[in-house]
Amino acid sequence: MELLTAIQFLTRIPVPSQSYEADSLARAVKFFPVGGLILGSLAALLYFLLAPHLPPLVVALLVLIFLLCLTGCLHEDGLADVADGFGGGRDREQILRIMRDSRIGTYGAAALALSLLARVLLLSSLPLAHVTQYLISSHVLCRWTTLPLSYYLRPARSGGDTTDGQGARVAQLTSRGALIAGSVFSLVIVGLLLRIQAVAPILMTIMVTLLSALYYRRKIDGITGDCFGATNQLTEIAVYLCGVWIA
C-alpha cells in the first residue's frame, strides 16, 4: 500500500513490511503530506502533554528530540550533506562527490546546529494557542515540497539512473496526478488549520521550494535525495517563522 510505503520511508513508525518495487517510492510520494500530518499531530500531542509542566524552551527541545527519533534524522542528514557539498564544492562533480561522503564537515555541522537551534527557539516562541496549527502545518508543507521538486527536476546523478540514490527513485517520476492530489490535500489541511493565516506559510513554502529548485538546477543540473531533505528542513523553519511573526 502506497501510504504505508510513505510512512515506512519518512518515519520509524512500525508498519507492515512492504514488498520492494522499483517505482514504489515514486508512487508513494503523493502521500508524503499525509506522513507529515501524522508526524505533526504526534508532535503537537506531546507538546500539549508537556506544556503545563515545563518551560516552553524545554518543551520545544523535547518535542524536537521526539521528532528526530520518529524520523531517524532523515532530513537532517540531507541538510548536512547539502551544506557540505554546496558550501565546499567548486563545480558540479565535486559537489556531488562531497555530498556522497558520509563524514560531516564544517558547513554541515554549522547547518545542523543552526537548524536545530532555529526550530527550538521558534517552536518555544509560538503562542500556545497556535502551536498545534503550526506544528501540523509545517510538517504537511515541508513534506509537500518533495512533490513539485520531484515533478520538475531530473536526477542529478548518473544521467537518471534510478538505482543511484533515493533522489533518483522519485526525480521526474512523480506524476501530475500525484502532484495535484498531494497539493490539494496539503492546501485543505493547512487552510482548515490556519484559516486566513495560511496565506503566509503557503507563500513562504512555495518561495523556498522555487528558490531551492532553481539553485539545485543551476549548481548540479538536477536534484538528489539530500536536496529533498534540505528543502524540507528550510521549509519547516520558514513556516515556524511565519507563525512567530503573525500568530
Question: How high is the pLDDT of residue 161?
Answer: 45
- Residue 5: Cβ within 10 Å count: 22
Angle made by CA atoms 145, 8, 141, in degrees to the nearest 5: 20
Question: How high is the pLDDT of residue 49?
Answer: 96
pLDDT tens sequence across 197-215: 999 999 999 999 999 999 9
Question: How high is the pLDDT of residue 169?
Answer: 80
In 126-224, alpha helices (H): 131-144, 146-152, 165-168, 176-194, 199-220
What is the model's pTM? 0.93
Q: What's the mean per-residue pLDDT of the chain?
A: 92
Mean pLDDT of 5-12: 89
Is residue 159's pLDDT more than 80?
A: no
Question: How high is the pLDDT of residue 167?
Answer: 74
Is residue 6's pLDDT more than 50?
A: yes
Mean pLDDT of 229-245: 96
pLDDT tens sequence across 88-103: 999 999 999 999 988 9
Mean pLDDT of 223-237: 96
Question: How high is the pLDDT of residue 18?
Answer: 67
Is residue 39's pLDDT more than 90?
A: yes
Mean pLDDT of 6-16: 88
Is residue 129's pLDDT more than 60?
A: yes
Question: How high is the pLDDT of residue 15?
Answer: 84
CA–chain centroid gap for 6, Å, is 13
Residue carrying C-alpha cell 502506497: 2
Question: How high is the pLDDT of residue 162?
Answer: 44
- Residue 14: Cβ within 10 Å count: 8
d(CA 72, CA 146): 18
Tell whether the torsion through CA atoms of 77, 30, 46 and 238 is positive or negative. positive
Nearest to 151 by CA among 233, 3, 32, 40: 32
Cell of 116: 536545530
